[in-house]
A and B are shown apart, each in its own frame.
Chain A
Amino acid sequence: MSPSPEAIAVAAILVVVIAAYALFGGADFGGGIWDLLAGGAGRGAAPRELIDESITPVWEGNHVWLVFILVLTWTAFPAAFAAIFTALFVPLSLSVLGIVLRGSGFAFRHTAQRLQMRQLTGAVFAAASLITPFFMGTVVGAIVTGRVPVRPAGNILSAWTSPTAILTGFLFVAACAYISAVYLVLEARQRGHQDLTRYFSRRATAAGVLTGGLAGGTFAELSTSAPYVFHRLTGIALPLVAISIAAGIAVLGMLWLRWYHAVLLRAMAAIAVATVVFGWGLAQYPYLVPTSLPLAAGSAPTAALVAEFVVAGLAVLLVAPAFAFLYILQQRRMLTAAESDADLRLATQLEQAPPSQPAAVPPPAGTAKTTALVLAIVAIKVIRDALSRSHRR
Chain B
Amino acid sequence: MSPGKEGAKFFGHGLPYTDVRDLKGTLITIEGTDGVGRSTQVRLLKEWLEVQGYGVIETGWTRSELMSDTIGTAKAGHSLNQLTLSLLYATDFADRLEKIIVPALRSGFVVLADRYVFTAFARSVVRGADPRWIRSVFGFALVPDLTLYLKIDADTLVPRILRTRGIDYWEAGMDMHLGTDLFESFRKYQWRLIREYNKMSREFGFVTFDATLTVEEIHARIRRRVQTILDERRVLALAGSLDRLRPLLFEAEEDAAAEGPTPQVTDEEESTDLAREPLAARAPFKE
Pairing of A with B: no
Seen from chain A, the residues whose Cβ lies within 8 Å of a Cβ on chain B are none
